[in-house]
Amino acid sequence: MSSYNNNSVRLNAATKVAVFGGTHGNEMSGVTLVNLWMKNSNEIQRKGVETKPFITNPKAVEKCTRYVDTDLNRAFTAENLSAPGGESLPYEVWRAQEINNMFGPKGSPEAYDVIFDLHNTTSNMGCTLILESSKDHFNLQMMNYIKKALAPASCLVLLNEHPLLKYSTSRSVAKHPVGLEVGPQPQGVLRSNIFDSMRVIIKHALDFIELFNEDVEFPPCTVEVFRVLERVDYPRDANGNIIAMVHPNLQDCDWEPLNPGDPMFQTFDGKTIHYQGPGTVYPTFINEAAYYEKQQAFVTTKRETLVASAVKKS
């Protein structure tokens, strides 16, 4: 619970922290880092915090596939979490209930304070932190801390609080859910640069939590975020088959401005399809492999500057 005191948001110490890997079993940086930390967790321990490394979808990891029955990172709905049926449920629905029992219950005071969920993308997104709320001042302060600690390397913040496009993530059982999405990395593949970037972001994030728990007050700050606006599907024929690819001018240009009239898709017979929106947007998750099944070629975002209140331990 938060209350305001001298304009500073007061929060309890963040003592229960988890790092999830393998929410998608073919995203290898998170799987590998979490497996490493399960053998020896010294690197992720900090004073006054217990950090638990955890493989969320072991069956998918074993098969090196995104999921077995259904996408675990969409499964944490109130309906799924209360569904009867036990082991007769789809594997990931059952697993979501188990994770909710261990790290939640979602929305309850007993829930974990912070969960970092490690993902890789085939898109050229670089280092991206994913937030689910613009009002979580603890997380906004953490984003600011990580960005400053990483500079001159960069790390962008994707904010998904879209009423229709937001989904029920594994990390959403925590009070402060943080997604970490690093790419480009093919599915089933490890790249050392991507692995190292992910590792250093988790280091800074845990350092922030340690400082917070040691009573450091973080003064008000601003954080640049990219807010999810719209899902854009591939052009399709009447039978629903894809008839175009991401245009070469857009491919790999995640986070770069896309203006009305700019090339967006290239049909198989060589025609260019242009972006027709009303103004400049910042596309991301461009040509993500896992999103073909979700009818998404990319997502558009708009840049926003959020103000984070000061935060301090109560």
Ligand X SMILES: CC(=O)N[C@@H](CC(=O)O)C(=O)O
Which residues are part of a known binding site? 24, 27, 66, 73-74, 119, 167-171, 181, 291
* b/e code 120-154 from CB counts within 10 Å (16+ = b): bbbbbbbbbbbbbebebbbbbbbbbbbbebeeeee
Nearer to ligand X, 127 or 310 (CB): 127
Nearer to ligand X, 11 or 157 (CB): 157
* Tokens found for residue 275: 């972006």
Of 181, 210, 224, 230, which is the active-site residue? 181
Please report whether residue 24 would count as binding ligand X according to CB under 6 A: yes
- Rounded CA gap, 146 and 202, in Å? 9
Assess whether 181 carries a catalytic annotation.
Answer: yes
- The residue behind tokens 């209140």 is 309
Nearer to ligand X, 59 or 313 (CB): 59
Stretch touching Zn ion by CB under 5 A, among 20-28, 81-89, 235-243, 303-311:
20-28
Mark the binding-site residues for substrate, compressed into ranges: 73-74, 167-171
Nearer to ligand X, 21 or 179 (CB): 179
Which has the closest alpha carbon to 222: 122, 135, 140?
Answer: 140
Contact yes or no for 287/297 (Cβ under 8 A): yes
Nearer to ligand X, 73 or 213 (CB): 73
Q: Give the torsion through C-alpha atoms of 224, 229, 233, 235, to 10 deg.
A: -100
Q: How far is the CB of 34 from ligand X (least distance, A)?
A: 15
Please report whether residue 73 would count as binding ligand X according to CB under 6 A: yes
Choose, by CB under 6 A, the member of 29, 169, 185, 309 that binds ligand X: 169
136 binds, among Zn ion, ligand X, none (CB under 5 to 8 A by kind): none
- Would you tell me how many other CB atoms lie within 10 Å of the CB of residue 219? 12
Please report whether residue 119 would count as binding Zn ion according to CB under 5 A: yes
Please report whether residue 300 would count as binding ligand X according to CB under 6 A: no
Mark the binding-site residues for N-acetyl-L-aspartate, compressed into ranges: 66, 181, 291
Choose, by CB under 6 A, the member of 16, 52, 119, 247 that binds ligand X: 119
Please report whether residue 146 would count as binding ligand X according to CB under 6 A: no
- Kindly give, in sequence order, each residue whose CB lies less than 8 Å from that of residue 204, ignoring residues fewer than 6 positions away: 145, 146, 149, 150
CA angle at 143 for the pair 140 and 147, rounded to the nearest 5°: 145
Give me the sheet containing 176-183, strands edge to edge. 50-55, 16-21, 114-120, 176-183, 126-131, 156-159, 221-232, 298-308, 282-284
Please report whether residue 194 would count as binding ligand X according to CB under 6 A: no
Query: For helices 192-213 and 137-150, what crossing angle results, to 10°?
Result: 130
**Residues binding ligand X (CB under 6 A):** 24, 73, 119, 121, 130, 169, 179, 181, 288, 290
Active site residues: 181
